[in-house]
Amino acid sequence: MSVKLSTGVEIPIEMHKARMVQKIQLVPVEERLKAIEEAGYNTFLLKTKDVFLDMLTDSGVNAMSDNQFAGMMNADDAYAGSATFYEFAKAVEDVLGYRHVMNVHQGRAAEHLLAKVFAKPGGVVPTNYHFTTTKAHIELQGMKVLEIYYDEALKTESDNQFKGNMDPNKLRKVIDEYGAERISFVRMEATTNLIGGQPFSMANLKEIRKICTEFGLRLVLDGSLLCENAYLIGKRERGYEDKSVAEIVKEMCGVPDIYYMSGRKNTSVRGGCIATNDLKLFELLKPWLPVYEGFITYGGMSMKEIGAMAVGMREMVDPSVAGCSVEQIKYFVNRLHAAGIPVVTPPGGLGCHLNAGRFLPHIPQSQYPAGALAAALYIASGIRSMERGTISMDRDKDGNDVFADVELTRLAVPRRVYTISHIDYAIDRIEWLYAHGDLVKGLKFVSEPPVLRFFFGKLEALDNWGVGLKEAFKSEIGTA
C-alpha cells in the first residue's frame, strides 16, 4: 500500500506491525572485504552473520503472519490423508479456482515434474522469459527454451508497463517453424524474474491462450509472483482499475491449463504446488509425485509448512500483502532513477534491478559486470544482492561463456521484512558506489561447477580491486 502525505508526496506504508524481530548487524568494511574474498566474490557464498540487509532473494525469506504461525502449530502431521492438506486444497480452490492440486518441495520441483512428464523428443518450450531452474530442467530433458518476448523487454529503461508480455507473432512463427507437435508447452512467467520482475497484461495472457487453443498447445503459468503481477495489472491495465487483487488472480488462473508456483514467494513458506482443473493432466503428473517428492498429501513439504501455506494462500491476495513489496520497489527504483542511477524501469514486482552494464560500463561482459557490482555493493554497504547476468548463464557445449541479454544486479525486496529506512540506506550506498564506479574492475572464475554455476562458482577480483574500494570507503565514510 502507499499513502499520500499532506505535502503530496506518496510513500509506501507498511500495513503490519513488527511484534517479533531478528537482530541484524553491520560489520566493518574490513570484515566485509574479508568475507567477500572468502566467498570467492560470490554473494551466494556469504554467511548471514556478515550480511546487513539480505536482498539476495525474496524466496523463502518473507515474514510470515501471526495467523500463518498459528497454522503451523495446528497442522495435522500425517504421512497420508492429512486434514491440513485438505485445508490447503480448499484454499487453492477458493483463491485460485483449481480443483486439483499437489504440493512439491519448492518451485523447481514443479518444473522438474512438468519438464519430465511433458518432455517431447526435440521439444521446445516457448516462454516470455526463462528462469534459471526452469531452463535447467527443460534442457535436462533434452529440450530447448525459446524466449519470445517483445524487443522492448530488454530495454532496461522504458515506460512500457508490460515488458513481461509474450509476443504473439513470435509464438505463431515458432509454431510455424517447429510444428505444434514439438512444443512441449507454452510457459508464461508472472513477472519475469531475470529481466526485472516485469508483469504481463491480462490481455496478453488471453491472447496467448487463444493461440494455444487454436493449435492445441498446453499453456503453463508460473505463478510464483502471481499476486505482484495481479497487483500491477490492477494499477496499470485499463478495465482493471476497480477490480480487487483477488478478482484479478482468479481471472488469471482461469486462463492456463496448468499452474505452478514456488510457495516461497507469494505464500511466504518453503514449498510449492502444481494445480489444474484438467483431471487428465493431473493424473499424468500424479504417479511421479511419490517418486520425486512424496505422497500426494504432502509432496515433500512438512505439514507445518502446508498449514502456513493454506493461510498464506488466502492472505496473499490482500492488497496490503500483494502490494507490500511492489510499493517499496517503486519507491526504491524511482529514487535511484531520479538520481541518475541506471536502474530497470518501470519498477517491477520482485526487486530493484541495477543495470550493471551501464553502472560499470568499463567492464566487458567477459569479466562479469553484474557479479562485480554485487560484490562491490556488499563491500560498500553490507547489502547482499544477486548477480543476474552472464554468471547466471551456463557455458555452451564448447565451454564458451553465453553472454546474458542484460547484465543486472538484483536487490530483491522480501515481503514485510525491511523498512523504508533500510531502503534509504541502500539508496545512499548505491549512489556512493555509482560515484566510485571507476574503482571496480571485473572478475575471473577460479572454480566453476558445470551447471547453475552462479550458486557455487568462485571468482577473484582482477587487480585485487576490492582493496582500493575498501580504502576509498574508509577514508570517505568510515568503518561501517
Ligand X SMILES: Cc1ncc(COP(=O)(O)O)c(C=O)c1O
Return the active site residues: 79, 131-132, 222, 265, 388, 454
Least Å distance between CB 317 and ligand X? 18
Least Å distance between CB 264 and ligand X? 5
Which of 100, 130, 218, 264 binds ligand X (CB under 6 A)? It is: 264
Q: Let me know: does 64 contact 263? Beta carbons within 8 Å.
A: no
Q: Let me know: does 107 contact 300? Beta carbons within 8 Å.
A: no
Residue written as grid cell 560500463: 361
Instruction: Give the span between the Cα atoms of 222 and 110, in whole angstroms.
Output: 10
Least Å distance between CB 226 and ligand X? 10
Give the pairing of strands 186-189 and 258-262. Answer: unpaired
Pick the piece of the chain touching ligand X (CB under 6 A) from 19-27, 102-110, 366-374, 432-440. Answer: 102-110
Least Å distance between CB 412 and ligand X? 9
Least Å distance between CB 108 and ligand X? 3
Nearer to ligand X, 387 or 434 (CB): 387
Nearer to ligand X, 59 or 68 (CB): 59
Which of 107, 199, 256, 442 binds ligand X (CB under 6 A)? It is: 107
Whole-angstrom CA distances from 413 to 61, 236, 325, 351, 380 are 10, 21, 6, 5, 19
Nearer to ligand X, 32 or 415 (CB): 415
- 10 Å Cβ neighbour count for 8? 6
Contact call for residue 272 and ligand X (CB under 6 A): yes
Which of 42, 43, 59, 267 binds ligand X (CB under 6 A)? It is: 59
Which of 43, 84, 106, 328 binds ligand X (CB under 6 A)? It is: 106
Contacts 24+ apart (CB under 8 A), 66-72: 66/19, 67/311, 67/315, 68/268, 68/269, 68/308, 68/311, 68/312, 68/315, 69/308, 70/311, 71/307, 71/308, 71/310, 71/311, 72/304, 72/305, 72/307, 72/308
Nearer to ligand X, 28 or 60 (CB): 60
Give the pairing of strands 351-355 and 408-412. Answer: antiparallel
Cα angle 252, 256, 260 (rounded to 5 degrees) comes to 90
Contact call for residue 325 and ligand X (CB under 6 A): no
Pick the piece of the chain touching ligand X (CB under 6 A) from 27-35, 40-48, 70-78, 100-108. Answer: 100-108
Contact call for residue 68 and ligand X (CB under 6 A): no
Instruction: Supply φ then ψ for residue 461, to 5 degrees.
Output: -80, 125
Least Å distance between CB 105 and ligand X? 8
Pick the piece of the chain touching ligand X (CB under 6 A) from 11-19, 82-90, 105-113, 143-151. Answer: 105-113
Instruction: Give the span between the Cα atoms of 377 and 384, in whole angstroms.
Output: 8
Window 182-221: residues binding ligand X (CB under 6 A): 189, 193
Nearer to ligand X, 270 or 422 (CB): 270
Nearer to ligand X, 128 or 156 (CB): 128
Determine the residue with CB nearest ligand X: 107
For ligand X (CB under 6 A), the number of binding residues is 13
Nearer to ligand X, 52 or 260 (CB): 260
Q: Let me know: does 194 contact 164? Beta carbons within 8 Å.
A: no
Contact call for residue 266 and ligand X (CB under 6 A): no
Contact call for residue 378 and ligand X (CB under 6 A): no
Contact call for residue 224 and ligand X (CB under 6 A): yes
Nearer to ligand X, 406 or 427 (CB): 406
DSSP string, 183-194: B--EEEESSBGG
Nearer to ligand X, 193 or 409 (CB): 193
Which of 108, 187, 335, 429 binds ligand X (CB under 6 A)? It is: 108
Least Å distance between CB 261 and ligand X? 8
Of 387, 366, 379, 341, nearest to 468 by C-alpha is 379
- The single-letter code of the amino acid at 49 is K
Contact call for residue 305 and ligand X (CB under 6 A): no
Of 220, 252, 49, 26, nearest to 131 by C-alpha is 220
Give the pairing of strands 386-388 and 443-447. Answer: unpaired
Q: Give the helix/strand (H/E) hosting 133.
A: helix 132-140
Angle between helices 226-236 and 245-253 (to 10 degrees): 110
Which of 82, 127, 262, 385 binds ligand X (CB under 6 A)? It is: 262
Least Å distance between CB 262 and ligand X? 3
Least Å distance between CB 380 and ligand X? 26
DSSP-assigned beta bridge partners for residue 303: none
Instruction: Give the span between the Cα atoms of 79 and 37, in whole angstroms.
Output: 45
Window 116-135: residues binding ligand X (CB under 6 A): 131, 133
Q: Let me know: does 221 contact 190? Beta carbons within 8 Å.
A: yes
- Residues at the site binding ligand X, with contacts judged by CB under 6 A: 59, 106-108, 131, 133, 189, 193, 222, 224, 262, 264, 272
